A and B are shown apart, each in its own frame.
Chain A
Amino acid sequence: MEKLLVTAIQRFSTHDGPGVRTTVFLKGCPLNCFWCHNPETKDLKNEVLFTPADCIGCMACASVCPSGAHEFENETHILRRDLCMSCMSCVSVCPSSACEAAAAEMTVDEILREVIKDKVFFGDNGGITLSGGEPLIRKEAVELLKAAKDMGLNTTVETCGQVPREILIDALKYTDFFYWDIKDTDSARHKLNTGAGNEKIISNLILADSMGALTAVRCIMVKGVNTDDKNIRGIAKILSDLKNCKAVEFMPYHAFGGSKATLLGLEDNGDKSLIPSDEEMALVKARLAELLKLYGVSNISVL
């Protein structure tokens, strides 16, 4: 079994499902949303997170780098991303936190050993949440869910839905709850902003729902991008067809992803002008609630 690339294991997570949870962030995502707030989880392969401000100028990295990607000029340390092969040699010798790996390679067992440390706090409801990136693009993630279930943990998955059907069907057996993103109901716009259309995401959601998967649908709201009434109507329409959806959560775009992007040598993608106001968020929620009422949907709470 292949190892998983884990960007973080976050204990005492209280926003990713019921109770106290440990959230495991896996690297790699099939989508490429321009507003992504976890850019270090996008790429399928490991990467160097580079923080020049933390460099103490010891040049240990330059001495081990096989491709000459670490350049020091006039006491400035530059990481040439075009040369970097992500071999992580620099990470292993850097004494400070200037060169760090975006992810650690871990087996399912190693991950579980970390997760189980907080079992005493999980109680009846808490457990493990898989997030990312997109967890359900690797069959090992299903192994992880299965092993967690075997240990009596509640399992939750945060998915973008753009996942292979066979992995999804397998995962359904071991997953207690899904947070399912619907980023945009306009497929053309979805393709433009995330790199893929939304057809697979929506058909997967309907399939999972029909097989009894409990879900909360999450909709990111990016000001001027997908906050229009047509999208809200589209969301309402999809929700009205679901039997096992418990809630819909509207999440305002935030710009914090930009700080991480720069560590990857990417442009700061944070753009404060895209943050919807509290009033806009309230309007969107009210509109959806109104539409759900119109469709006779009463089992979905709007959060």
Chain B
Amino acid sequence: MIFGTASKNERPVRLSESTRQFAYESLHGKYGDEAVSHGAVTLDDVEDFDMLDDYGKYDIAVRRIAEQAPLRITESERVCGAATLGLAIRHVVPATRNGNAVYGSMSHLTCGFDRAVNEGIDEYEKRIDLRLSDTENLDQRQIRFLQSLRNTVASMRIWHKRYLDATKDSRPDLYENLKVVPFSKPRNFHQAVQSLWFCFAFTRLCGNWPGLGRIDEYLGEYLKRDLRDGKITTDEAREILASMFIKGCEWIESDTAPGSGDAQHYQNIVLGGLGPDGIDITNEVTYLVLDIVEELPIGDFPITVRLSKNSPEKLYRRVCEVQRHGGGVVAVYNEELILKAMTDAGYRYSEALRFANDGCWEVQVPGKTYFTYIPFDSLSILQRRVLKKDGKDIEYESFDSLYACFKDELGKTVFDLCSGVQNAWVKDGKWLPKFPMSVVALFEDGCIENARDYGEGGPVYNVVSPHIGGAPDVGNSLYVIDKLCFKEKRLTLKELYQALSDNWQGYEALRQYVTNKLTYYGNDCDESDSYTVRVIDDFAEITHSYHSDEINFVPGVSTFGRQIEWAPVREAVPFGFKKGDILSGNLSPTPGTDAAGATAIIKSYCKSNLVRQTTGAALDIKLFPSSVEGENGLEAMIALIKGFIALGGFFMQTDVVDAETLRAAQENPKEYKTLSVRVSGWNARFVTLNKEWQQMIIERTEQGI
């Protein structure tokens, strides 16, 4: 069994043959196919279903799932419980009525599995009951919500009981652990992992896609104790953890329809960083997780490591050794900058210290945050509301007046987006009802105490983040306009408008000039970078100036893959690209405009005041194996990360891959089934991407050659 790698070094083998076989089957779609073959439970026979209120319907759906979802206990698994209903892979609660899913599900959050593991679910039940006993201070919806939480725990017990019965005779190893967790506190590392997996699997079974947060932080102590007492070996611990990782691939199908890629269920993990006492928590679990993803090309748990100048040197090395195999499965956070970004935005330092992410890369306090983001295209603001208004070209006397108009329109856009959310969700200071989300609400601090659902103001923090997209394209456009039309007066705005509206037809010499003779964002050129920096920084200040009592509106930078869907509706741009061309992703340079390599990209990116982008700004760096081979290559990768941290970066994702490999995979998808590529916060198997996506990844400038 060979797992692909982008490196000249083979992937190391540390796991047992049976665990590796289990991984191979899971990664090749055995369990995903099983799940798809029984997609959902039916609610068709529920009498008077339509007479029930939202929570009534939801609770029946969850109960049916718990009662009827097929059980799966595989021979090699060391932790038990499986999300076996295929409709969950479509991001809905897998319960249907007349063939349709009844409720949507949640992602973009990290549940408080740390608390669930440490306290046990019995304690949750007690807390719910206690809150329910205070009925005088609850309205009807709050009571229904708390009852729904109660029913959620009851359903979890049903599902748990079925696994107990199923393992009692055949798998005493699993049974003994399930007798304790997740309802009571785990007594050892194995039980802690089982508890985490069971809670996580239950939320997944019900269609949700949460992240797991800082698993080394909350599992590390259990392992440390067991190792000290001689109850477990490091190798055994690795097998147990690996089992959880492999089971987390249970939604990979063997024959996925091409789209934006599978292996993308936001089940992110954050490693390393400071603990509550301000001391680095990096421990044996941290390194075991890195061991596992070094050996097995698992892209389903994107990992981000919190690094600072004080992080252990060994952690830097291990991160880079794993990154070198490709797949982009490990990214890094600049911890110190993020702590400052969060405290600047109003979080207490003790809360900021806990940061993980939403399951993608937007930072949040896990287990107590409602989060969503609102993406928008800043390039279309420039094109439709500044350079043109109502379809007519607009003349400007100076660059300053043009930019003032852009900033004004940007401000209006951001305020409209924020107040749109505010008005849709909150009225007269009260949260409006959404649909039930009790399964994830159970794992979110604040929901029980406030007796409000996850989407109705229950969590301690409610965060909505406008995300600016296309900023480097706006910056590059503004740079050309200022330089050619105002500073050098090489051509008039009118001439430029004509070239753009003709999609550069008949203006090839000018197009060649702007393409070849000017240097754009991403080449560490202060002159051109300054335009993108200005856009990014102005956006941050605008967003911070929007005030709401209920919701924290904070800025971030992303496109994820939206630059593809935006391409056909954007116009030609002043820096030479035509209508329909795919432009910049996240805060990375526009493809093909970065010629100076990885260090220059990092420097350009770090020129923005990223500490103001509270939820984050992603940079994707692609390196090719030839530039990072050997001990020196490893040192160079470490130097890149250290430079990124020293310069004030936020989130960086390094992928090592060669274009030839990608082209080969495009032609022979069958042979490259497990080749995974990560683009910003998500991860996908390359062969499940459609042609456009694949092309974009291939065309990203091949830095380092």
Contact = CB atoms under 8 A, between A and B. Distances in A.
Interface of A: 10-12, 14-15, 18-20, 56, 58, 60, 95-97, 117-118, 120-123, 125-126
A60 B510 CA distance: 12
Contacts of A117: 524, 599-600, 603
Nearest to A21: B636
Nearest to B643: A121
**Lowest 9 A-B CB distances belong to which pairs?**
A96-B512, A121-B643, A95-B512, A95-B513, A14-B636, A12-B597, A120-B643, A20-B639, A95-B509
A121 B639 contact: yes
Nearest to A303: B630
Contacts of A122: 639
11 contacts: A11-B596, A11-B598, A14-B627, A14-B704, A20-B636, A95-B509, A95-B517, A96-B509, A118-B599, A121-B640, A126-B639
Given A10-B597, A120-B646, A19 B632 contact: yes
Contacts of B627: 12, 14-15
A120 B641 CA distance: 10
Interface in B470-508: 508
Interface string B620-647: 0000000110001101100110110011
Given A10-B597, A12-B627, A20-B643, 18 more contacts: A12-B598, A12-B636, A12-B703, A12-B704, A14-B632, A19-B636, A56-B509, A56-B512, A58-B508, A58-B509, A60-B509, A95-B509, A95-B513, A117-B599, A120-B603, A121-B602, A121-B640, A121-B642
A14 B705 CA distance: 10
B639 A123 contact: yes
B516 interface: yes
A120 B524 contact: no
Contacts of B517: 95
B334 to A, nearest CB: 13
B483 to A, nearest CB: 15
Contacts of B639: 19-20, 121-123, 126
Contact of B628 (A10, A14, A19): A14
Contact of A14 (B524, B596, B633, B646): B633
B168 to A, nearest CB: 57
A15 B625 CA distance: 12
Contacts of B640: 12, 20, 121
A14 B636 CA distance: 7
Contact of B599 (A20, A60, A97, A123): A20
Interface in B584-605: 596-600, 602-603
Nearest to A121: B643
B642 A123 contact: yes
Contacts of B632: 14-15, 18-19
Nearest to B626: A15
Which among A14, A56, A97 has the highest number of chain B CB atoms within 10 Å?
A14
B634 to A, nearest CB: 10
A115 B597 CA distance: 13
B357 to A, nearest CB: 26
B360 to A, nearest CB: 28
A97 B633 CA distance: 32
A278 B456 CA distance: 65
Contacts of A11: 596-600
A96 B508 CA distance: 9
Contacts of B597: 10-12
Contacts of B524: 117
Interface string B634-663: 011001101100110000000000000000
Nearest to B647: A120
A121 B652 CA distance: 15
Contacts of B510: 95
Contacts of A56: 508-509, 512
Given A95-B517, A120-B646, A12 B599 contact: yes
A97 B636 contact: no
A15 B524 CA distance: 22
Interface in B506-555: 508-510, 512-513, 515-517, 524
Nearest to B630: A14
A126 B600 CA distance: 16
Contacts of A58: 508-509
Contacts of A121: 599, 602, 639-640, 642-643
A49 to B, nearest CB: 13
Contacts of A15: 627, 632
A11 B646 CA distance: 18
Contacts of B643: 20, 118, 120-121
Contacts of B647: 120
B337 to A, nearest CB: 15
A1 B633 CA distance: 36
A95 B599 contact: no
Nearest to A122: B639
A19 B635 contact: yes
Nearest to A98: B512
A38 B160 CA distance: 68
Contacts of B600: 11, 117
A73 B643 CA distance: 52
Contacts of B628: 14
A20 to B, nearest CB: 4
B410 to A, nearest CB: 30
Nearest to A18: B632
Interface string B661-683: 00000000000000000000000
B677 to A, nearest CB: 21
Nearest to B525: A117
Interface in B419-442: none
A12 B597 CA distance: 7
A122 B603 CA distance: 13
A259 to B, nearest CB: 13
A66 to B, nearest CB: 22
Contacts of A10: 597
Contact of A95 (B516, B602, B646, B704): B516
Contacts of A19: 632, 635-636, 639
A38 B186 CA distance: 64
B690 to A, nearest CB: 30
B507 to A, nearest CB: 10
A281 to B, nearest CB: 15
Nearest to B514: A95
Nearest to A97: B516
A75 B676 CA distance: 46
Interface string B684-705: 0000000000000000000110
A122 B643 CA distance: 8
B534 to A, nearest CB: 21
A96 B576 CA distance: 12
Interface string B82-110: 00000000000000000000000000000
A121 B600 CA distance: 10
Contacts of A125: 635
Nearest to B603: A117
A14 B598 CA distance: 12
A126 B640 CA distance: 12
A18 B635 contact: yes
A166 to B, nearest CB: 33
Nearest to A17: B632
Contacts of A95: 509-510, 512-513, 516-517
A126 B635 CA distance: 10
Contacts of B598: 11-12
A14 B633 CA distance: 6
A93 to B, nearest CB: 10
A270 B363 CA distance: 52
Nearest to A14: B636
B83 to A, nearest CB: 42
A15 B643 CA distance: 19
A45 B657 CA distance: 38
A122 B628 CA distance: 15
B621 to A, nearest CB: 10
Nearest to B598: A12
Contacts of B513: 95
